[in-house]
Structure 1
Amino acid sequence: MKSFKGKRKSISDMFHLNQNFRTHAGVLKLAQSVIDILCFYFPHSLDRLQPETSLIFGEPPILLRSRCDENALMTLFGHSTDSSCSHFNGFGADQVILVRDELSKQKVPEDVRKHALVLTILECKGLEFQDVLVYNFFGDSPLQNHWRVIYDYMNSHCLLDPSTNSFQRFEIAHHNILCSELKQLYVAITRTRQRLWICENHEDYSQPMFDYWNKLGLVKFRWLDSSFAQSMFVASSSEDWRDRGIKLFNEGNYEMATICFEHAGDTFREKWSRASSLRASAEHIINSDDKNGRHLLIEAAKIYESIGKVELEASCYIELKDFQKAGLNITFYLLFSSRH
């Protein structure tokens, strides 16, 4: 290669940095097992790189099993359906429950959502947590019983138990959605730095992947009971909750940021986040539901006013096309500012 001065220069060798300094080896191996299936069935869907390695020690990923007819999350968080029970455990600021999508999030009991961060896989992209609980990923999957195609992969790699019943052969026409499902699973797995728990209310759809991971020796099974649940919880300081809330607020996840600021005891930021959540909801629905959209904007404006966010309050009135009220707010704000 020649430079503009005519002197020959060489391009330095390129190196792939495959050592991970944040996540332990057990999680990386589990993530790689997902990549291996992707590369086998969908070789053009991703760039194949050397597997990541880590010198960090950590406990293997845990597949949690709950008793029949139990809601795993309610069992985990130690909440009784008896209204006389006032004790409710909660996750810390560096722990999260990951679900597939917004619909799956709404299935999480409200009491749990008040005591733990619950994010969708899309919302958690770019974020990391010390501990991650992946909840009902397979149970809510559109792939449903087509997850049994994993046994075809196991059979191709001499991993299948001879006693396994009949399984599906991979056909791109029937299993093309497997590609996006595996990519989502990879994202969910790699959000943790230390502990990873995978929990399903029912294992009908998850069993093939569980069998695959178990055959590779990558996971451990644990029954979900109160003693194990207690070992999962980690308390966080007010500063930890505030820092997490600020990160989520900056990501536009106002609902979860509000919960963080509540735990932090930061009333100002809690109200700011709550108002931002109302405003975002209003902007989402106002074209199809003008009445409720306007109501949400008015509520947001009131909260902004209560914390002195006059400019944001005025912007709500501008969206409501109440320009007189918006102008008065800005005028009072400028007069007040000039005197101080």
Structure 2
Amino acid sequence: QLNTNYRSHEQILNMANSVVDLIQLFFPRSIDRLIKEGAERQGLLPIVLSPVDEKQLTKFFMGTKLSGEASTVNDSQTEASSQQSAPQGTAQFGCSQVVIVRNQLAKSRLPKIFDNMLCLTVYESKGLEFSDVIIYNFFQDSEASQTQWKLLNDVIYNTVQVPQLDDEIMEMDLLDNDNFEEFQRRIKAMENQTEEQCVTYEEKTTLEIKADGYFQRKSKQSNIYKQFSLLCIELKYLYVCITRAKNRVIIYDDFDTRREPMQAHWTKLGLVHTVTKAQLQDPSLMPAVIRDFYEIGMSDSKSTPEQWKIQGIKLFRKKYYDQAIKCFTFSGDFPLVKRCSAHQKAESADQLMSEANSLQWKVRNFNYLPKHTKKQYQKEAKNIRMNARKEFTLAGELFAECGLFSHAGSCFYTANNQLRAAEMFKKLKQFAQAGECYFKQGMYGEAAKMFEAGKMMPRAIECYEITQSWEQLLNSLSRCKDQFKDEEREALVNKYVPIALNSLYKMLVQANQGAEDHTLNKAEIQEMKIKMKYQKNVSQIMEEDEYGEEIESSDHDDNEDDAEEGEAEQEEAADADKEETAKASDGEASEDKSFEVVSVVESVEESEEEGADLLEQVFALKKKKAERKAKEAAEAEGGSDKPAASEGSENSFIIQSDDGAPQDDNQKTFDDFEHLSQFDPEDEFLQSDRSFSIIDSIV
């Protein structure tokens, strides 16, 4: 433990130790017993000022001469007004002088004399130190009641004589066991010495509690710590206030009713100077040291701009923005003033948002609340949230002016101003955050660009899917191919190429709906052939291709023959398709041998639902034809009972689902065109300008 305090002088420490004694007397289990601190220097006794009017209060702190001349006051006012941003007629104090109040509300009730003086709450002042401290309305704004403060009247003061310990004993390290034993031995030896042995004694005041006092009566009835807990807390706060000062402590209350027990305690111990109203009216009644202070006052402690700036930085780091603004104003650093103002508004908006969320939480969780109360809470929460968003917007603008784009973007985003937030994030090249802002605003095209620039391709693909911009999606996959593994990119291409082709087909149908003639151009015929030819899942086709390669490697010669036969069959099928198309266009189709291509031509002008019915008819007719051919071939070979068309064979035309399982005829829909298995690079339609060069962008 450090027994020497290098901040405050002896008189301030004695006052603080007296508060500790009271805590140990009434609440011994709430504080550790430590050796009291001492100081190496002496100073002015703390001053307790009686309630006075504002004029006398101003004269006391600004300083005046005993002759009563007003020139000193006027000079002080003139000097104060010369300071930057200091209103005329108010005192200008130094950056190392502070007013400490009980809570935030008390800051708004300070007299004008303290407008340009630093002001902190008890909690805010912890960890800081100042040359002069004014404890303003601490007892008046105390949360402890007047009855609890009267508890101090039960203290009994006893004066005893104890041996004076020499410096060698006082400097012992009592945490060391050997030193502690030596300390006990010496103390016992001193107690056994007589007066003839030149033992020096000193008087010491000890405290006791009255046996029949209010405290003892109450402590027998209930838990003393629970009943007087507020008083214990207030005494600890008072200790914090006193120990912030290095040179002078002044205590003032507008009403001193609650302060009287504590003031009487300090007076009995001789720890304070009390300045009454009569002494202010007749300064000759004051003690000499108080008269000297009354002549000079506290406004003589001026600070340089550099000192104000240093103090402002300290307060800014502790997030005491309102007081930091005062410091930077007096130092002339107006960019820092703007920065503090931005942080202050953001902090205020955050508090408002928390308050609104608290009301919403009550509405959701407090089921016992009546309906009109819930509606009132919801209305209040809405208004508070609107005010919070306005504050966030103002804070964002200030941050943007200061060049703090990250803070500005966060404020704009919270204020639901997504466009301004996106601008801030784009300046910082934080494209992912900008993309989220555009996405929340519903600007999916811009969001996709930002996500792609921020290398968040899943989010970019999501935006392209929402807008159905398939061409941009495929181009994006081509540009960002290095961000995917080969398997991932192949899966994405297999997924979105059929969808893109289907989108082109729909655009083509819509473009030709207003044509005067009902004949299909060449490109449309080729497109319809693609649609009817490739009606399988991509993964299923890939599996068939892999299976074909295995067969080829096992039996190369047979596979060549099969390939030739397959080519011949494909040529025959293509010729049959051409003949059937020609017959359908000439009106010579029959029910058993044609696919009724005339109905396909008419379907271009019909709705997609009618197209789906047409496909079902086409698929059924082609399936019947394949079965008939297989049956004839089986009868020629000897009447085999083998199925007409096996699953996965070349003549099979079974529609596959996404998982590769065959679908029921009733489940086939026109949307299955989105699962085109592959594309033919030599197809005239896909090589035409109507294809929008999609294939070139992905190959």
Q: Which of the five TM-score ranges fits, normalised by the shorter chain?
A: 0.7 to 0.9
Runs of 4+ in 1 over 6 A off after TM superposition: none
Secondary structure in 2 matching 1:186: helix
- Could you tell me how far apart the structure 1 residues matched to 2:157 and 2:43 are? 30
Deviation readout 1:135-154 (Å, 9 max, x if unpaired) = 1111111323221111102x
Which stretch of the first structure deviates more once superposed, 243-252 or 301-310?
Answer: 301-310
Residues 106 and 215 of structure 1, relative CA distance in 2, 3 Å threshold? same
Compute the displacement of 1:88 (Å): 1.0
Greater share of helix residues, 1 or 2? 2
Instruction: State whether residues 39 and 46 of structure 1, in contact with CA within 8 Å, keep that contact through their aligned partners in structure 2.
Output: yes
Match of 2:386 among 286, 291, 310: 291
Instruction: Name the residue aligned to 2:337.
Output: 270
Instruction: Name the residue aligned to 1:122.
Output: 123
Instruction: Name the residue aligned to 1:141.
Output: 142
Deviation readout 1:264-294 (Å, 9 max, x if unpaired) = 1110111100110000000000242111101
Instruction: State whether residues 60 and 297 of structure 2, in contact with CA within 8 Å, keep that contact through their aligned partners in structure 1.
Output: no
**Matching of residue 256 in structure 1 with residue 256 in structure 2:** no
Provide TM-score, normalisation by structure 1: 0.82
Residues 255 and 90 of structure 1, relative CA distance in 2, 3 Å threshold? same
Residues 77 and 286 of structure 1, relative CA distance in 2, 3 Å threshold? farther
Residues 71 and 199 of structure 1, relative CA distance in 2, 3 Å threshold? farther
Number of residue pairs aligned between Structure 1 and Structure 2: 308
Which stretch of the first structure deviates more once superposed, 33-42 or 299-308?
Answer: 299-308
- Could you tell me how far apart the structure 2 residues matched to 1:123 and 1:99 are? 10
The structure number with the bigger radius of gyration is 2
Match of 1:232 among 298, 315, 328: 298
Instruction: Name the residue aligned to 1:150.
Output: 152
Secondary structure in 1 matching 2:91: coil
Higher RCO (Cα < 8 Å, 6 or more apart): 1
Instruction: Name the residue aligned to 2:13.
Output: 28
Compute the displacement of 1:215 (Å): 0.9
Matches within 5 A, 1:169-184: 169-170=215-216, 171=218, 172=224, 174-184=227-237
AA in 1 matched with 2:351: H
Compute the displacement of 1:305 (Å): 2.1
Unaligned runs of 5+ in 1: 1-15, 80-84, 160-165, 336-340
Compute the displacement of 1:90 (Å): 2.6
AA in 1 matched with 2:26: Y
Secondary structure in 2 matching 1:133: strand
Instruction: State whether residues 121 and 188 of structure 1, in contact with CA within 8 Å, keep that contact through their aligned partners in structure 2.
Output: yes
Compute the displacement of 1:174 (Å): 4.3
Which stretch of the first structure deviates more once superposed, 138-147 or 243-252?
Answer: 138-147
Residues 90 and 65 of structure 1, relative CA distance in 2, 3 Å threshold? farther
AA in 2 matched with 1:95: Q
Compute the displacement of 1:125 (Å): 0.8
- Could you tell me how far apart the structure 2 residues matched to 1:270 and 1:299 are? 15
- Could you tell me how far apart the structure 2 residues matched to 1:292 and 1:245 are? 28
**Matching of residue 312 in structure 1 with residue 365 in structure 2:** no
Compute the displacement of 1:71 (Å): 7.9
- Could you tell me how far apart the structure 2 residues matched to 1:76 and 1:292 are? 42
Which stretch of the first structure deviates more once superposed, 40-49 or 167-176?
Answer: 167-176
**Matching of residue 214 in structure 1 with residue 270 in structure 2:** no
RMSD: 2.8
Percent identity reads 33
AA in 1 matched with 2:215: R
Compute the displacement of 1:334 (Å): 5.2
AA in 2 matched with 1:231: G
AA in 1 matched with 2:318: E
Instruction: State whether residues 90 and 115 of structure 2, in contact with CA within 8 Å, keep that contact through their aligned partners in structure 1.
Output: no
Instruction: State whether residues 98 and 120 of structure 2, in contact with CA within 8 Å, keep that contact through their aligned partners in structure 1.
Output: yes
Which stretch of the first structure deviates more once superposed, 261-270 or 99-108?
Answer: 99-108
Instruction: State whether residues 77 and 229 of structure 1, in contact with CA within 8 Å, keep that contact through their aligned partners in structure 2.
Output: no
- Could you tell me how far apart the structure 1 residues matched to 2:145 and 2:60 are? 25
Unaligned runs of 5+ in 2: 63-72, 74-86, 160-204, 206-211, 219-223, 282-292, 357-383, 431-699
AA in 1 matched with 2:337: E
